[in-house]
């Protein structure tokens, strides 16, 4: 299983800090597509992180990985 | 613990203390504060949210990049989260180096990198609404809202 | 009293407090500290001497120059005098501005101007001697040891 | 009369923080020449200030003016 984390407007939209899903074997792009359909999220300009490191769209998710969606940041 | 995310107000002196070194002749700090007016619109307060574990890692990465680029540099960064009022301190960056030019340049580099790769977001609250703010880079076009390829997996 | 010469250790936070403003999103500080090694030579301690009345006037002049050049800037500078040990703070410059690029540039301007026109001198003490140090400008040739004509009578 | 102030190595050399002299009517250049002879000081690369403002070599000193000699500064 995988922990999927949301931040900023994504968190507000989904209404959860994280959800648990089996995403193993899927690419980030495939997971984005799935979540877009399930929650009506717009994820095409959103970065992903796998286990706290930025990940590209073609990275394949392993069982146990934590996936986070990172909207454009605005710290500082 | 030179790189921290803090729910409590930041003690600036304690961040500075982390970079004091006998080899340094210069310490620069950058203190990001909550400004009342942005593009003429009045901010009431901000909420900062962080992906804390990853944010600390990315701050550490910025520190590492600085030490590679500026010889003898020491770096400490603390970023606040939660509700901040006008003039509250959101971030403190302290950099010490043997010579002053490096201390300014390395410090500037740190704040620009924070605005590129550190997973922290602010929500502005105005009298007539609220909104999560996208990237705040004032100088770099960043239309896709994602870090450059070189930033990935570093 | 944003511009001071102090015989006592400088409280950095109190210098920063002087430039906090609701319009500022950025505060930069420069903290000049006593470095142990200069050109490989080991400093034991320094003595700073100032022509105090004129030094305060010249610090005020620098503040005025900054406010003219950088819109919305606030500036505070305190310079220490007397005996300073390694890592002691010799000078603190705090600048606040609405936007961060200005805060870095204006702060850098302040330290360069201090090294040009403010009548303060340091005497370095080494194991094998002591010497009053001439100008410390790292970037500007200044062979005559005098300010540019434009600095006179300003 | 005029107060003439010395700093840094000039103060060490003269052995006084200041001396009192009648320099009124003299230019800074003339006063430098006089002090060079009297104390063996090298003042050609040293700036002068009159009443806490930098003064050029041809400025004429008035009665009551405070004159200071400002070696290359090294604060910061």
Structural domains of chain A sorted by starting position, each given as residue range(s) with its CATH number in brackets: 2-70 (3.10.20.30)
Query: How many A×B Cβ pairs under 8 Å?
Result: 93
pLDDT of C58 > 70? The answer is: yes
Chain A residue whose CA is closest to B121: A74
* HEC sequence for B21-58: CCCCCEEEEEEEECCCEECCEEEEEEEEEECHHHHHHH
- Catalogue all structural domains in chain C, each as residue range(s) with its CATH number: 3-133 (3.90.1170.40)
**Which helix (H) or strand (E) is B132 found in, with range?**
strand B129-132
Instruction: Round to whole Å and give the CA distance between D51 and D34.
Output: 20
Would you write out chain A's pLDDT as a tens digit for each of its 76 residues?
999 999 999 999 999 999 999 999 999 999 999 999 999 998 988 999 999 999 999 999 999 999 999 999 999 9
Mean pLDDT in residue range D15-42: 96
| The token pair that represents B105 in the structure block | 């340049």
Average pLDDT over residues D18-26: 97
* Residue count (chain A): 76
Q: CA dihedral defined by C48, C53, C55, C57, rounded to 10 degrees?
A: 170
CB contact under 8 A, D75 and C114: yes
At C80, which helix (H) or strand (E)?
A: strand C74-80
Interhelix angle for C52-69 vs C100-117, to 10°? 150
DSSP B85-108: ETT-EEEEEEEEESSHHHHHHHHH
Element (DSSP H or E) covering residue C65: helix C52-69
- For residue range C94-123, list pLDDT tens digits in order: 999 999 999 999 999 999 999 999 999 999
pTM: 0.91
| Per-residue pLDDT at B134 | 81
Give pLDDT, residue B136.
58
Nearest to C85 by CA among C43, C54, C115: C43
**So what's the ipTM on this one?**
0.91
Of all residues in chain A, the one with the smallest CA distance to B123 is A8
Tell me which of C17-21, C58-62, C140-144 is least confident.
Answer: C140-144
| Confidence band for C144, pLDDT divided at 50, 70 and 90 | very low
Query: Taking CB atoms and an 8 Å cut-off, how many pairs form between chains C and D?
Result: 93
Q: Å from C98 to nearest chain D CA? A: 25
């Amino acid at each position: 299983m995988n922990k999927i984390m949301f931040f900023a407007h994504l968190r507000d939209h989904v209404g959860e800090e994280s959800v648990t899903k089996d995403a193993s074997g899927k690419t980030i792009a495939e997971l984005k597509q799935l979540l877009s359909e399930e929650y009506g999220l717009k994820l095409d300009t959103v970065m992903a992180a796998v286990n706290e490191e930025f990940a590209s769209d073609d990275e394949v998710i392993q069982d146990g990985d934590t996936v986070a969606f990172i909207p454009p940041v605005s710290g500082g | 613990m030179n790189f921290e995310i803090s729910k409590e107000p930041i003690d600036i002196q304690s961040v500075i203390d982390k970079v004091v070194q006998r080899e340094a002749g210069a310490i620069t700090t950058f203190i990001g504060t909550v400004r009342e007016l942005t593009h003429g619109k009045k901010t009431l307060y901000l909420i900062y949210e962080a992906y804390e574990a990853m944010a600390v890692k990315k701050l550490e990465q910025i520190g590492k990049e600085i030490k590679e680029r500026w010889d003898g540099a020491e770096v400490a960064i603390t970023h606040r989260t939660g509700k901040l009022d006008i003039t509250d301190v959101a971030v403190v960056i302290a950099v010490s180096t043997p010579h002053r030019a490096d201390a300014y340049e390395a410090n500037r580099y740190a704040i620009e990198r924070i605005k590129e790769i550190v997973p922290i977001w602010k929500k502005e609250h105005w009298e007539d609404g609220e909104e999560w703010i996208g990237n705040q880079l004032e100088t770099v076009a960043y239309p896709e809202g994602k870090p450059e390829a070189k930033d990935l997996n570093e």
